[in-house]
Structure 1
Amino acid sequence: MSKKKHEEEHENHERWLVSYADFITLLFAFFVVMYSVSRVDNKKVQKAAASIKWAMHMSGTGGVGQMPIFDGPPDGTIADLGGGGIPPAQAAAEGIRRQIENRIRPFVIQKAGPAAVTITVEVDRVMVRLAAADFFDPGQSALRPQILPVLDAIAQEVVPLKRPLRVEGHTDDTPTVGRFRDNWELSASRAATVVSYLERAHGTSPGLLSATGYADTRPIVVGTSPEARDLNRRVEMVLELDLKPESKVRKEAPRYDPVPR
């Protein structure tokens, strides 16, 4: 029998189309992803980023000009704190800082942002810094209604302590426009507004409250950038925990000795 002759297999010159098609498919997928990213709602992304940024800061003790840093709720009551060589006043201040931060966290995330409130400890006092951009309209001293839950949460921790609370208003060096003649009046009015709200809405004893305006004389940072101005425009609530004898308010009227002739 004669053997059948096999036809020679011809070379496939179209195999490059497979690789080309794969490349086109990958390129198309890449552009689809890029288009999807460009369509993301920026406001939702910023809100999510703020929440993540807030949640990630969960260690340390905080500092001037920094975001609130959470350590979780304190163990025991404030009176139980103070072990490990830490002065009792500072231990109490740290405990109060944690309690305030834990209480205001959900309100700040919903109503403002992580930079709206900063809490720091200075040995025997706790300072709660309120960013003016979140609590007041530009050039105004009235509290924004939507931010009041944050101030209420702070008051719920601070007022029951019945300790002296000093409220200080600060501005930047931008000249005022409107009913306030200068930044002295604006800063003092904002501090007085916070004091009035604490007394009216939370029953704080007037004898424990004081309001002061410093205008632009005590900036956190020196500069004219928008970031610097935002930091300098603020109201600070200073809670005194362990007053030194010389700093206590005198309850009796001052006495003046007659000048000898």
Structure 2
Amino acid sequence: MDELPEEEKAGIPAWVVTFADLMSLLMCFFVLLLSFSEIDAQKFKQIAGELAQAFGVQREVPALEIPMGTSPVFDQFSPAPPEPTVVNEVRQTTSEQAPELDTLRGRAEADIQRQLDQQVQETTTRVAEVLDEAIRDGRVQLAEDEHRIVIRIEERGSFPSGSADITWEFEGLLLEMAEVFADIPGKLTIEGHTDNVPIRSDRFRSNWDLSAVRASSVANVLLESGAVEPQRLVVKGLADTRPRANNDSTESRALNRRVEIIIDLSGPMAEEEARLRELIEGHQDEILIPNIESSPAPSAGLAW
């Protein structure tokens, strides 16, 4: 009896071998292309970061860093603090003082300042009238510095060069100024200034001596008139420490050789301001502002 032939087992199809060879060749080809290419690490990192944000990849947040939300418009976003909804509500407020008092007080402050400025201007005008001829000749200059009036006296026509002896013409001008100073309150500071050229003589050892003696010479003339009280005067010798111009030419050095008389009105102005404020506060209960310009001057205050 003949034996039956064994059944042939099914094997791998023939096309699989060809497909595997093709895939192996393709993989080798792309690996070869990748080996020839260059990778931009910074651009790769940026793209990877954008992909991580786009797909919501969670990152580690340090404990001290506050987590912030992201937005398609802004890179960083922080929510605004919540605020209550505005309610259209009208409330009536009351005040113990009259509503027009603040307006009146502001008007009074302006009146006080205007009155003080007017008094300083009147004082400057009085001094300018006495010094009119000297100002036009260029021997004297007049200026205002806040609550100070500065009378700048040039060396020309006042002192001989290198000397502290006052000329006869300048002495007469000082005597006229003393009469005006008698009616003007405040301190009188007399400052002597020189250039930077050293001086050494039998009388003056340096510019400090020269500037101090010139300032004291002016003070002596004012005291000899009897119109100026000694306790009002302050004498300073500053040598070349406060020049008006550079000492690089004859003209600039001449500008630095000078004597300045400074009328300090800050003290009397403060007293006058306090007096005017007391006048206003005395009428606050009646809500009245006095007419400051027509108010009488105090008997022992400013003498403008």
SS of residue matched to 1:221: coil
Give 1:222's aligned residue.
Answer: 246
Equivalent residue in structure 2 for 1:206, among 212, 230, 236: 230
Residue 196 of structure 2 corresponds to residue 173 of structure 1: yes
Give 2:124's aligned residue.
Answer: 97
TM-score when scaled to structure 1? Answer: 0.56
1-structure distance, mates of 2:213, 2:149: 22
**Any residues of structure 2 matched to 1:1-261 within 5 Å, and which?**
86=113, 88-106=115-133, 108=134, 114-178=137-201, 179-243=203-267
Following superposition, the deviation at residue 96 of structure 1 comes to 1.5
Q: Which consecutive segments of 4 or more residues in structure 1 shift more than 6 A?
A: 82-85
C-alpha contact 1:125 1:241 (8 A) present in aligned 2 = yes
1:17-63 deviation digits (Å, cap 9, x = unpaired): xxxxxxxxxxxxxxxxxxxxxxxxxxxxxxxxxxxxxxxxxxxxxxx
C-alpha contact 1:188 1:214 (8 A) present in aligned 2 = yes
1:41-90 deviation digits (Å, cap 9, x = unpaired): xxxxxxxxxxxxxxxxxxxxxxxxxxxxxxxxxxxxxxxxx977855544
C-alpha contact 1:139 1:177 (8 A) present in aligned 2 = no
C-alpha contact 1:90 1:123 (8 A) present in aligned 2 = no
1-structure distance, mates of 2:173, 2:235: 19
C-alpha contact 1:89 1:242 (8 A) present in aligned 2 = no
Following superposition, the deviation at residue 196 of structure 1 comes to 1.2
SS of residue matched to 2:156: helix
Structure 1 gaps, min length 5? 1-81, 246-261
Q: Flag the 1:89–1:235 CA change in 2: closer, same or farther, 3 A.
A: farther
SS of residue matched to 1:135: coil
Q: Which has the larger radius of gyration?
A: 2
2-structure distance, mates of 1:229, 1:130: 14
AA partner of residue 101 (structure 1) = A
SS of residue matched to 1:160: coil
AA partner of residue 123 (structure 2) = I
Give the number of aligned pairs: 161
2-structure distance, mates of 1:177, 1:86: 50
TM-score when scaled to structure 2? Answer: 0.48
Q: Flag the 1:88–1:240 CA change in 2: closer, same or farther, 3 A.
A: farther
1:208-259 deviation digits (Å, cap 9, x = unpaired): 00100000000011132122111110000011112399xxxxxxxxxxxxxx
| Identity level (%) | 28
SS of residue matched to 1:222: coil
C-alpha contact 2:192 2:211 (8 A) present in aligned 1 = yes
Following superposition, the deviation at residue 177 of structure 1 comes to 4.0
1-structure distance, mates of 2:166, 2:120: 27
Q: Flag the 1:203–1:156 CA change in 2: closer, same or farther, 3 A.
A: closer
Structure 2 gaps, min length 5? 1-108, 270-304
